[in-house]
Structures are given as C-alpha cells and as structure tokens.
C-alpha cells in the first residue's frame, strides 16, 4: 500500500507560504473527508522580500475561500483597488503615448469579436476606450464599486494593491487562529531524504528537532532551500528574452489626505526599463526596474528621481531607495519527488503584469484541489503540475515579451534589442504571424483556464497599434451587433462616472463602515 | 435642502410648525426609515424591508410605500392620505438633535415645508415659554434618538448572525412592462431556523425574536402594495 499523504510541511512564510497554507488548510479542514495536517515553518530571522504589491482579480476568490473578510483585509494590509494597468510611453515614448490593459473584458466579448469592427471603423479613439468602460473609471480615479456593493462583488472587475509585508502577517494570523495551521518559528538547517527513493523524510530545525511530512512545499524565496540546494533542479534563465535584472524601490508619501489614489498600476517606460507606480491608501510604492546590461545604478536612480519629480514629489533628498537583484527565469521542474516549489523559489519575472502573486495562487489552488491521496498518486500529479506550470510560465513570458516587441521605440540600445525578433520566443512569433490575419481569440491557446485570456492579448496588441488585416466588408447583422456594443459602452461610462465614488472615498468608507457580506 | 438651526426663543418666538401628515411634500416618499418600536404596528399594514444607506452601506429598516422615486401608492389622487400609522421619522419633522460643541441641542429645519410664521402651532408662547407642541416635539425627538441606537444594535446582531439576504421584487405591470425592484433585503428564514441555541438565547434576551417575527409577518403586505402599483400603472396606461 502506497504511503498516504496526510502531513503537509510548508517551509518558509511570506506571501507564498501563507497563501499556500491558507488555501490548503481551508479546503482540507479537520472533519472533512480529505483532511490533511498543515505545518508551516518560518524563520524568525529572514524577512520576506516584501515588494510585490499588485494582485490579480483572482485574489478576491482566493481570500473569500479562506474565509477572510474583505473589510478586515483592506483595513489591515493597506489595500487599495486596482483596475488594471496603464502603460505610458511604451509605444512611441512621446508624452501623450499611453494605453490601458483593463480588467473588464471588451463590451460584448462573450458574444463575438469587436476588434475587427473597431480597427475598420473607429480611428479617432483607442481600442480600450471604445470598448471598455474601465479606462474612463481609471482616468477619473474612481473606485470599481460602491460602499453598498457586497464584499468581493465587483461593479467593475478589480484586483488589489497592497502592502505585502502586512499581507503576510495578516494571512499568518488568519491561518493560525482560524484555520488550525501548526506554526513553527524556527530556522531549517537540513533536509533529510530517503537514500533509495530520495523522497524527503523530514527537515531539521535549529530548536524544534526534525519535522517529518509526506509533502513538502518549498516557499523559501530566492534561497530555494529544497528545490535548488537539495534537489539541484536547474534554473532556466530568461535574461535573453526579458533582460530586466535590477529593481530600485521607494515609498512616496501623498501630498495630503485629499490627493487622488490611482485605481490602476501606472507603468512608465524608461531608457532601459520601466517605472511602476502603485497607489496604496497611505503612500505610493514606486520602483524602477531596469537592465544592468544597458543602464548603471546611478543613471537608473537618476531616472527614477526624475520620474518622481515629474509626478509631484518635491523633496527627493530624504528618500530611502532599496536595491533588489532580479534573476528572470524559473526552475526546469517545480515538483520533484515529494517537494513542490511555490513563489520565488519556483522563479521570478519582472512585475510588468503582476504575475508573482497569481502564480502562487494558481500553484496553491492546484496543490490543494489535486491533493494526492498517496505517494503513488503524487508522481502523476507532480508530472501534470510540471507540465501545466511550464506551460503557464511560457505564456507569461510570451505575454510580457509582447509588451516589448510591439514597441516602436528605438531610441536606446535597450529598446533596439528588446524589440528584436532574435530573442522572441518561437511560440510568440507564431502567434504574432497568426494575428496579422485574424485577431486573438480563445482557440489560440491550449487551456480552458489560461493565465491571460484572449481579451488581454487584444488590449495589448491594439493598444500598441498592432494591425490585423481588415475584412473587406461587414454584414448588416455584424454592424448592428458592433454598434450596439459601442452604444452600451458609452451608456455604461456615463452611468458609472456619475455613480461611482472616487477610489479614496471608497477606501475611507471601507475603513469607517466596511462592506456588508450580502 | 435644509437649514438647521438650534432652537431658541429669541430667534424662533414667532415660528409655527404644521403637522407632518398635512404636508404632501413630507409624505410623498417611496420609503421611510422605521425603527424597532414601530415594527409591531407596521407589520399589519405595510411591508418592512432592509436597505443599505447609500452613504455608509449600513443596513436600515424601511417601510415601502412605492417603487419609484417619491412614489407613495397610499396617497389618493387628491393627494390626501390618512395614514393608519405615520412613522417616527416623519412625525419628528422638522425637529432633530445635533451635536454642536459637544453638546446635544434641539434643532429645527427652517427650510422645511412644515415651518412658517403663519400656519400651524407656535413653538413658543407670547412669553417665550415652550408650548405644548414643542414639549411634544422634544419627547418625539428623544424617542427617535433612542430608537436609532436600538436599530443600530438590532442590525448589528442580525448582520453578525448572517440573517439578511437580498430579495428582488419582480412583477408585471398591467401594460406588460416589467416591474423590478433591487436593493432590498429580508430575513433569511432558513438561516434563522438554523441558528444555534446560544444565538437564540441572545435574541430572546434582547427581545429581538419578536422583532424578527414582525418582520417576517410584514412580508405578507407586499402583495397588496404590488397590486396597488399595477393598478396605478393601469390607470396611467389607459
């Protein structure tokens, strides 16, 4: 009889550790038919990286399933609403150059494609503005819902911006107090594996002895204690495709309590990278990610300071800049034997589309939903996990690369190189060829649950001026359908701009009153 | 709009106040906030629901008179209404309490249609002494204040026990157009039946079980109101 999988040991806290712990523990509760024990070992000495501040809309469901109140989460983790991203100066580099990748699908997307009609008939207005009301909501700094909307329910699809250190601490408290996770505060000093099978039997800790388990989750961040140091799973470097390898992060206070809080991530292209700008309720989180091959630290810092000045920061002398090294890429495999890597130990890419936290959620969801019953089943699930996540990393890399290859900028060596076809993945080249003749659609991708839906590709492609061959004519029926969607979008804009509160107003109301559950 | 002023016999010695039930402007409402003490009367005649305050998202109980803005289906065509029960929220008008400089003061809304110098009852007599009308107003405003606190506590308890659920009223007008009303909440009967003994004890101790029964009973009054609405539209469409 194959050994049952009953004891899950998560090595490492941070967002990865605590999300994985919470997702597993809330599904496999004590008393349920699939109950497993979850133990999390967190080092009291290692602080999490604590930069990732953007989530995807999936986070709403992840938190809801863990039994977390959205109000408490927002109050305790400095949370604001995020309704997508605005990409500035990515196409031409001119001052007025921007496009949106919103979180709401184009109007009527579930019924049919509108990009062809848009490109043939509407020249004066961008794709996202013509077909998605969310751009106007964002441009007006409005919230995605009202105080009367129940928790986790959206008027306009939304994600979050958050303080990631506070988020980890908040999840930790919830996991220990509400979900019955065994917490061990200790340093892991060794990994003990079976000589024959190489399965991990236990991890040795400084003060708590050996902690044994059936499945180990490596959430040890960049140190990759098990997946790298123990199993030596190779790291696949993606620096050639995505050359960004440095980050400088800084926190910026608001001028006063009335300053607008942007309800979208603003990503502004620079000479050899880009600047992220995220509005939390109490401060902005701003950072410059760049490629050290094309830019040095001093120049990159200078560019960041120029950005800060241009966006209203007067005193830039007393700011603390944090420098972080990034190694773009991921493990060759994520699940080996009875160990699966989740979070930075599995890999990292530049935060252009906030893929870090969503990959943690997706990994945790699959581990939890497909929790192996025993060791025999684990081998099969591990294989499937590796296939699926290799595919997902590849799609994210394609999607990030898309933002670069479509740029018309050639003003610096960085932009000349990142736009070159030489370092574009074949999978993306193939799609780009296909999209010359037809717009992105659901058949272009292999999985029902894609990381980025076809709509996201449309937003980036047409936002960046990509041209798909136009049809010669439209039928009466097609024209009527398209015009109806355009009218609906205009109506939605008028209605929502009139009814929605500002992002700041709603955040303040959440603090004061909170959302109702129904 | 309103023009709230702290009452004093110097400024307001000539002020006269009409009774709210005589003012169309006051009673032309599609719904009015109601308080726990009133549930027992209302339940016999009109449906009570919960709705969210648009500013705070907090629940409050309301009695429904109509389904569109300022629609009171109980008003006759001659705009007369002899309500069987007029809610505290309307009776207290144009008076209120306000917290000014950490002191609770009785105020009057000088812009209220009920306030003038030529119609209604004076609030101060010739000697500047409060009239019986003003004394009555004070006791009503006091009661209103107590009931506000009670409603807040009651709502807190039922929200904590997850007893509210959204409900949508759908019907068809006589002219076949759909009638749909959103944003209303009622007591979830299934959830109420599955409360723990300890939760029941808590409801009992505060006598909230009686209020819940009133609320459930009041739902029966909805069909009569919808019938009025359909009939009203019928008249319009012919």
Give mean pLDDT, residues B31-36: 95
Higher pLDDT, B178 or A234: A234
Give mean pLDDT, residues A278-284: 95
Model confidence at B30: pLDDT above 80: yes
Look at residue B176 in the predicted model and tell me its pLDDT.
79
Look at residue B225 in the predicted model and tell me its pLDDT.
86
A72 interfacial to chain B (CB closer than 8 Å): no
Contact A516 B165 (CB under 8 A): no
Q: Among partner residues B57, B162, B164, which is closest to A148 by beta-carbon distance?
A: B57
Question: pLDDT-based confidence at A274, cuts 50/70/90?
Answer: very high
Question: How many whole angstroms separate alpha carbon A81 and alpha carbon A385?
Answer: 31
Residue A510: closest CA among chain B residues belongs to which residue?
B56
One CATH from 3.40.50.1820, 3.50.50.60, 3.30.70.120, 3.40.50.880 for A7-53+163-238+331-394:
3.50.50.60
A517 interfacial to chain B (CB closer than 8 Å): yes
Model confidence at B71: pLDDT above 70: yes
Tell me if residue A374 falls in helix, strand or coil. strand
Model confidence at B216: pLDDT above 50: yes
Look at residue B236 in the predicted model and tell me its pLDDT.
44
Contact B57 A517 (CB under 8 A): no
pLDDT digits (tens, 9 = 90+) for A311-364: 999 888 899 999 999 999 999 999 999 999 999 999 999 999 999 999 999 999
Check the CA dihedral A285-A289-A292-A296 and report its sign. Answer: negative
Higher pLDDT, B60 or A255: B60
Is the domain covering A246-325 a CATH 3.30.9.10 domain? yes
Q: List chain B residues with CB under 8 Å of A513.
A: 56-58
Contact A509 B56 (CB under 8 A): yes
Mean pLDDT of chain A: 95
Contact B52 A512 (CB under 8 A): no
Asked if A171 contacts A291 with a C-beta cutoff of 8 angstroms, the reply is no
Give mean pLDDT, residues A260-270: 97
Residue B53: closest CA among chain A residues belongs to which residue?
A148
Model confidence at B174: pLDDT above 80: no
Contact B54 A517 (CB under 8 A): no
Mutate to test the interface with A, among B51, B55, B56, B57 (most CBs of A within 10 A): B57
Look at residue B83 in the predicted model and tell me its pLDDT.
67
Look at residue A502 in the predicted model and tell me its pLDDT.
97
Q: Among partner residues B54, B162, B164, which is closest to A148 by beta-carbon distance?
A: B54
DSSP code per residue over B148-215: HHHHHHHHHHHHHTT-EEEEEEEEE-TTS-EEEEEEEEEE-HHHHHT--HHHHHHHHHTTHHHHHHHH
Question: How many whole angstroms separate alpha carbon A285 and alpha carbon A288?
Answer: 11
Model confidence at B158: pLDDT above 70: yes
Question: How many whole angstroms separate alpha carbon A78 and alpha carbon A98?
Answer: 28
Higher pLDDT, B75 or A163: A163
Contact A516 B59 (CB under 8 A): yes
Q: How far is B182 from chain A (nearest CA, A)?
A: 12
Model confidence at A286: pLDDT above 60: yes
pTM confidence score: 0.92
Question: How many whole angstroms separate alpha carbon A466 and alpha carbon A473?
Answer: 20
Q: List chain B residues with CB under 8 Å of A515.
A: 57
Asked if B148 contacts B97 with a C-beta cutoff of 8 angstroms, the reply is no
Model confidence at B25: pLDDT above 90: no
Q: Among partner residues B56, B162, B165, which is closest to A147 by beta-carbon distance?
A: B56
Look at residue B171 in the predicted model and tell me its pLDDT.
79
Contact A148 B59 (CB under 8 A): no
Percent of chain B with pLDDT over 90: 52
Contact A509 B59 (CB under 8 A): no
Mean pLDDT of chain B: 88
pLDDT digits (tens, 9 = 90+) for A89-146: 999 999 999 999 999 999 999 999 999 999 998 878 999 999 999 999 999 999 999 9
What are the CB-based long-range contacts (under 8 Å, 24+) for B78-87? B79/B24, B81/B21, B81/B27, B82/B21, B83/B21, B83/B27, B84/B45, B85/B38, B85/B41, B85/B42, B85/B45, B85/B46, B86/B20, B86/B21, B86/B27, B87/B32, B87/B33, B87/B34, B87/B35, B87/B38, B87/B42, B87/B63
Look at residue B78 in the predicted model and tell me its pLDDT.
58
Q: List chain A residues with CB under 8 Å of B168.
A: none
Question: How many whole angstroms separate alpha carbon A189 and alpha carbon A202?
Answer: 11
Model confidence at B237: pLDDT above 60: no
Q: How many CB atoms lie within 10 A of CB A463?
A: 24
A501 interfacial to chain B (CB closer than 8 Å): no
Look at residue B79 in the predicted model and tell me its pLDDT.
60
Lowest mean pLDDT among A334-343, A361-370, B74-83, B163-172: B74-83
Look at residue B12 in the predicted model and tell me its pLDDT.
86
Model confidence at B238: pLDDT above 80: no
Give mean pLDDT, residues B8-15: 86
- Tokens, residue B125: 């007599």
Q: Highest mean pLDDT range out of A314-328, A499-513, B85-99?
A: A499-513
Contact A509 B165 (CB under 8 A): no
- Tokens, residue A208: 């708590």
Question: How many whole angstroms separate alpha carbon B174 and alpha carbon B238?
Answer: 10
In chain A, what are the domain boundaries?
7-53+163-238+331-394, 104-157+398-499, 246-325
Residue B162: closest CA among chain A residues belongs to which residue?
A517
Give mean pLDDT, residues B222-227: 87
Model confidence at A483: pLDDT above 80: yes
Asked if A119 contacts A467 with a C-beta cutoff of 8 angstroms, the reply is yes
Residues of chain B with a CB closer than 8 angstroms to some CB in chain A? 52-59, 159, 162, 164-166, 183, 185
Contact A147 B164 (CB under 8 A): no
Model confidence at A158: pLDDT above 80: yes
Question: How many whole angstroms separate alpha carbon A46 and alpha carbon A145?
Answer: 38
* ipTM of the complex as predicted: 0.84
Q: How far is B151 from chain A (nearest CA, A)?
A: 16
Q: Highest mean pLDDT range out of A168-177, B1-10, B166-175?
A: A168-177
Asked if A263 contacts A135 with a C-beta cutoff of 8 angstroms, the reply is no
**Phi then psi for A81, rounded to 5 degrees?**
-85, 145
Model confidence at A402: pLDDT above 70: yes
Look at residue B2 in the predicted model and tell me its pLDDT.
83
CA proximity to A57, closest of A94, A85, A27: A85
Question: pLDDT-based confidence at A35, cuts 50/70/90?
Answer: very high
């Amino acid at each position: 009889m194959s050994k049952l999988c009953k004891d899950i040991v998560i090595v490492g806290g941070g967002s990865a550790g605590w999300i994985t712990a919470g997702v597993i523990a809330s599904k496999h509760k004590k008393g349920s038919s699939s109950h497993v024990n979850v133990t999390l070992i967190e080092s009291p000495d290692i602080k999490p990286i604590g930069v990732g501040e953007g989530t995807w809309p999936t986070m709403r469901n992840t938190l809801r399933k863990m039994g977390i109140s959205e109000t408490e989460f927002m109050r305790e983790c400095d949370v604001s609403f995020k309704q997508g991203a605005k990409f500035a100066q990515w196409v031409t580099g001119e001052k007025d150059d921007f496009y949106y990748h919103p979180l709401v699908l184009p109007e009527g997307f579930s019924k049919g494609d509108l990009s062809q009609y848009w490109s043939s008939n509407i020249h004066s207005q961008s794709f996202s503005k013509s077909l998605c009301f969310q751009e106007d909501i964002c441009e007006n700094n409005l919230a995605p819902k009202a105080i009367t909307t129940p928790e986790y329910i959206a008027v306009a699809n939304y994600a979050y911006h958050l303080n990631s250190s506070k988020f980890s601490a908040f999840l930790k408290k919830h996991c220990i107090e509400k979900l019955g996770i065994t917490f061990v505060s200790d340093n892991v000093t060794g990994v003990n594996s079976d000589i024959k099978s190489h399965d991990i039997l236990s991890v040795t800790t400084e003060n708590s002895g050996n902690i044994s388990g059936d499945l180990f989750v490596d959430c040890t961040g960049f140190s990759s204690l098990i997946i790298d140091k123990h199993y030596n799973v190779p790291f696949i470097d993606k620096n050639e495709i995505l050359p960004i390898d440095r980050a400088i992060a800084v926190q910026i206070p608001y001028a006063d309590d009335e300053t607008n809080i942007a309800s979208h991530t603003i990503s502004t292209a620079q000479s050899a990278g880009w600047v992220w700008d995220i509005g939390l309720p109490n401060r902005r989180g701003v950072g410059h990610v760049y490629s050290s091959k094309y830019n040095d630290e001093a120049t990159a810092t200078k560019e960041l300071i120029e950005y800060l000045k241009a966006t209203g920061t007067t005193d830039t002398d007393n700011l603390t800049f944090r420098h972080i090294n990034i190694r773009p890429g991921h493990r060759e495999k994520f699940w080996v034997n009875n160990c699966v890597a989740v979070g930075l130990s599995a890999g990292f890419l530049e935060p252009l589309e906030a893929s870090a936290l969503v990959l943690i959620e997706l990994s945790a969801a699959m581990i939890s939903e497909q929790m192996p019953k025993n060791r025999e089943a684990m081998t099969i699930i591990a294989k499937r996990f590796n296939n699926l996540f290799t595919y997902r990393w590849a799609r994210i890399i394609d999607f990030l690369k898309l933002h670069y290859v479509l740029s018309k900028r050639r003003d610096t060596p960085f932009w000349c190189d990142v736009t070159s076809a030489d370092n574009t993945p074949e999978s993306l080249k193939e799609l780009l060829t296909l999209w010359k003749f037809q717009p992105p659609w659901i058949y272009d991708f292999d999985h029902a649950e894609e990381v980025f839906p076809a709509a996201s590709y449309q937003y980036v492609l047409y936002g960046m001026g990509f041209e798909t061959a136009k049809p010669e004519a439209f039928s009466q029926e097609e024209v009527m359908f398209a015009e109806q969607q355009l009218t609906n979008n205009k109506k939605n804009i008028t209605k929502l701009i009139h009814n929605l509160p500002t992002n700041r107003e709603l955040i303040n109301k959440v603090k004061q009153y909170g959302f109702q559950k129904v | 709009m309103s023009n709230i002023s702290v009452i004093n016999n110097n400024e307001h010695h000539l002020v006269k106040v009409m009774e709210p039930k005589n003012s169309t402007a006051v009673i032309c409402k599609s719904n009015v906030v109601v308080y726990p003490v009133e549930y027992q009367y209302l339940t016999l005649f009109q449906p009570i629901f919960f709705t969210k305050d648009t500013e705070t998202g907090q629940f409050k109980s309301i009695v429904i008179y109509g389904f569109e803005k300022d629609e009171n289906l109980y008003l006759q065509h001659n705009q007369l209404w002899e309500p069987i029960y007029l809610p505290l929220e309307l009776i207290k008008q144009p008076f209120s309490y306000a917290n000014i400089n950490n002191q609770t003061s009785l105020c009057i809304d000088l812009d209220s249609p009920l306030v003038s110098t030529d119609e209604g009852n004076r609030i101060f007599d010739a000697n500047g002494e409060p009239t019986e009308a003003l004394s009555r107003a004070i006791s009503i405003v006091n009661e209103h204040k107590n009931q506000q606190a009670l409603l807040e506590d009651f709502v807190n308890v039922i929200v904590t026990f997850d007893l509210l659920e959204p409900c949508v009223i759908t019907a068809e007008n006589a002219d076949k157009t759909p009638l749909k009303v959103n944003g209303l909440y009622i007591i979830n009967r299934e959830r109420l039946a599955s409360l723990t003994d300890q939760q029941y004890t808590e409801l009992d101790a505060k006598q909230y079980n009686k209020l819940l029964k009133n609320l459930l009973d009041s739902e029966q009054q909805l069909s009569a109101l919808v019938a009025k609405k359909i009939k009203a539209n019928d008249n319009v469409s012919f």
